[in-house]
Structures are given as C-alpha cells and as structure tokens.
Amino acid sequence: MLIVLKVRIEHIESGIEALMGKYVIFPVGKKHVCTSVKDDQAWIPRETQTALPPALLQRARTLAKEHADLSATLETDYDSKTARRIGELSSVVTALREWETAQASIAELTGMLSSKDSELRDMARDELTSTTGHLAALSRKLSASLTPRDSFAHMPCLLEMRPGPGGLEGRFFADTLFKMYRQFCARKGYRVQVIKYEMAEAAGDTSSAAGEQPLQEAIIEVQDPGAYDVFRGEAGMHRVQRVPATESKGRTHTSAVAVWVLPSFPENGSAEEDFNNPESDFYIDPQEVKIETMRARGAGGQHVNKTESAIRMTHLPSGTVVSMQDSRSQQRNREDAWKLLRSRVALQRREAREEAAAQLRNSVLAKNRITRGDKIRTYNYQQDRVTDHRAGIDVHDLPDVVAGGEMLDKVFDSVKEWMVSQDIEAMMAEEEAAALVAEKKAQK
C-alpha cells in the first residue's frame, strides 16, 4: 500500500533514495514516490537509479570497452598513438569502475535491509546512507571524466583585474580581489608573480579605512601548470554591495570589477645558450642539419679559391640556410655557421611562441568579452554573503572568502561543478544532434 505524504527531504544527491524517519522517497520514472513501512523494517528502493543520464552512462561504457580493446592490442604491438589514447581514457575507466563498485554495494546493502536481524538492518541502513552519498560524488567524478578537457586547462594563467563603473569604491574592491587571489595562491602553494599593479592617480584616490588601495589595473601570473583550469571560472563581472566609509547617510553602494583569466604561454625554450639541452632555444639536432662544403668565392688568394673552406648549413625542419666563407679555415667557418644558425633558429622559435601566445589569448578574449551584464558573483558585506549566480550558491563568512580562505574553496568547487554540468549538457546536445543527422541520412 502506498501512502503519499508531504515530508521534508533531508538529502537526495544521487537520486537513489533518502531515508527520513518512517518514509523513503525514491524515483520512479520522472516521479518521486513516498512509501511507508513498518517500524521494525527498513526501506527498500523499488529500483536503484542515479542522476547519470543513460546516454552518459552508455558513453562511459563504450569508452571503457575502447580502452580494453586498445590495451589488448598494445600488449602485442606497441604504438605511441595507441598508448596516448589509452592514457586519455584511463580516467574514465577508473571513474566507471568506482561508480559500478558503489552500485554493487548499494544493491547488496539493499538486500540486507530485509533481514530479520535488526542489528544487521541497522548496520545496512547506516552503510546505505553513507554509500549513497559517496555514489553522488562518484557520479560527478564520472561525469567530469567524460567532458572534453579545456584546451588551455594544462597551462599557467594570467589574472587581470580592472574596476568597472563605481568610482573609487570599485577601485578599492579591485584591490580586495587582487589580495584575495594572492592569499588564495599562497595558501595553496602556487607560484605567483605580479606582472602589473597600477594605482589610479585621480584626485581624492587615497587608501580606504580598511587599507585598500585605489587600484586601476593589476595582472597576476600564476605560474603552476594547470592554473588556468583552477581559475577559469573567475572570469566575469564581480559585483560588490557595501556601505563606503565615506558614506554619511549609510546608503549601500554597488560597484563592479571585471576579472579576465587568460592562458599564460610558458617559455618552453631556455634563453641560455646551452647547445646540448633540448629545452634550449639554441639547441639543434645535428641530424636535422644538412652541411655542404664548397670553394669560397671572391678575394682571398689561391688558398681560398682552391680549397673547400666555405660552409653552407640548412636546418631542414625550418628551411633556414646560412653560409660562411669569411675565414680561410673551414673549421672556423663551420663554427661561425653553427653560431649563426643557432641564433636564427632560436629567434624563429621565440617569434613562433609569441605569435602562438597572442593567438591563444585573442581566442580566449573573443570568447570571454566581459560587459556589465556578465555578473557572475555578488559580495554583499551587510549580509555577510557571497552569491555565485551561475552555481546558485550562497556562502556566508564573507571575510574568509575575500581573505582567500577555505570558504573560497567552496565557491570554486561549486563553480567547477557548474561548469562541468554545462559541458555535459553541451556534449549531450552535440551527440543528440549528431545522432539525429545520422538517422536522417539513414532514412534517405
């Protein structure tokens, strides 16, 4: 017999079940059913479900099968491309295995709920509640492993802050965000370099009572690999609502600060002339250089014209060609040719990196143009509350947030989950669209 009641839901994260007093709510299709049971019995879910869309779960299992097939192939025939693909799929396989293990545990514990042993039932109930919560985290982990990785995720990043409309109060809050990010990085052990810190020079721009500076623009480089993935959710307009110290009537002012997050293109090459270090801009693999000797031309007497003292070198990957015939000694010409070739190749490598960096940053800026309407977060000082409007989360203890403390971690984590959910929705929409196109082609 089913009894539908209005109850307070304590915790439904994974979509499997929620134990509440004498009742349990579990999903049936798109509906939630509440059923009562006897006091001395536990509650058995009618079916074990999770928040994972079926298509997403099927995708995970398809990729796991691909991983298994490639691993078997690699045992007999090593291929670097195959090995790289196996590495890319490993996170999906691990997350799926953990998720399926938790599912199996829930099924086993659910069976134990019908035991006649009350002690065993109580133990199973406690374990089921714990495992259900753990499954929710595993579901998020599996979902995240399936989403395409941001192309800049592995890179260091630049954090740029500029005050928006709001006058002096906006500049003060820009300085607050600058300090917040620096303190967050210090707590996490990230390497940070201040690239730019420029204060406004307008009349009346003095420090606030809280020690904030009238910041006009600041740029911080977080040099650790993967920093871009950590901070990319911070891009947007940060709004502050508070009563300025100079406000005599106690009115709340609203100001805003724009934050940009850009990939920081690392200097892969070394500026040092270490000819034997492959990481150096000046390193050239001798196997990639074609060396030709020839007779020198022009003045120099019989020795120059009759011996092959001139050297021509061609760097095959870049097509760079240098020739040297100034000395009567072939060895000296060879040494000078190597020096010139290394310098030219090093310059080309630096220019290529700078051009690539500019293209990367321009592409990010094109996708992340910030306007006043792109409000992502509000810092309300009077209510001691930080609200992230994308993740839909309210965090209290604002002083800890702007001090780069653990409450800021909570905000970052919630935003990361929101971004993953957006990526999943986009991925699912693309796959559904592709399936629809394939179906239409098949019908023709």
State how far the Cα of 437 lies from the Cα of 179, in Å rounded to an integer: 50
Whether the Cβ atoms of residue 256 and residue 174 lie closer than 8 Å to each other = no
The pLDDT, as a whole number, for residue 366 is 61
* Amino acid, single-letter form, for residue 323: S
* Consecutive H or E run containing 91: helix 80-112
Question: Regarding beta strands 375-380 and 236-242, do their DSSP bridges make them parallel or antiparallel, or are they unpaired?
Answer: parallel
Q: What would the two tokens of residue 56 be? A: 């997403």
DSSP per-residue string spanning 12-54: -SSSS-EEETTEEEEEETTEEEEEE--TTS----SS---SS-H
Q: Mind giving me the DSSP string for 266-293?
A: ---SBSS--TT-TTBTT---GGGEEEEE
Write the burial class of residue 356 (CB in 10 Å: 0-12 exposed, 13-18 middle, 19+ buried): exposed
In this prediction the pTM is 0.60
Each residue's pLDDT tens digit, 253-303: 899 999 988 877 655 554 455 667 777 777 888 999 999 988 766 555 554
Count of C-beta atoms within a 10 Å radius of residue 277: 13
Which tokens hold the place of 124? 């199973």
Backbone dihedral angles phi then psi of residue 88, each to the nearest 5 degrees:
-65, -35
Is the CB of residue 146 less than 8 Å from the CB of residue 96?
no
pLDDT value at position 240?
A: 94
Cα–Cα distance between 176 and 183 in angstroms, integer? 11
* Residue 273 token pair: 């002339």
Q: What's the half-sphere exposure (Cβ side, CA atoms, 13 Å) at 358?
A: 6
Half-sphere exposure of 111 (CA within 13 A, CB side): 5
**Residue 123 corresponds to which amino acid?**
M
**pLDDT at position 32:** 37
Residues of the chain predicted below pLDDT 50: 1-50, 203, 270-271, 303
Tokens of 170: 């906006």
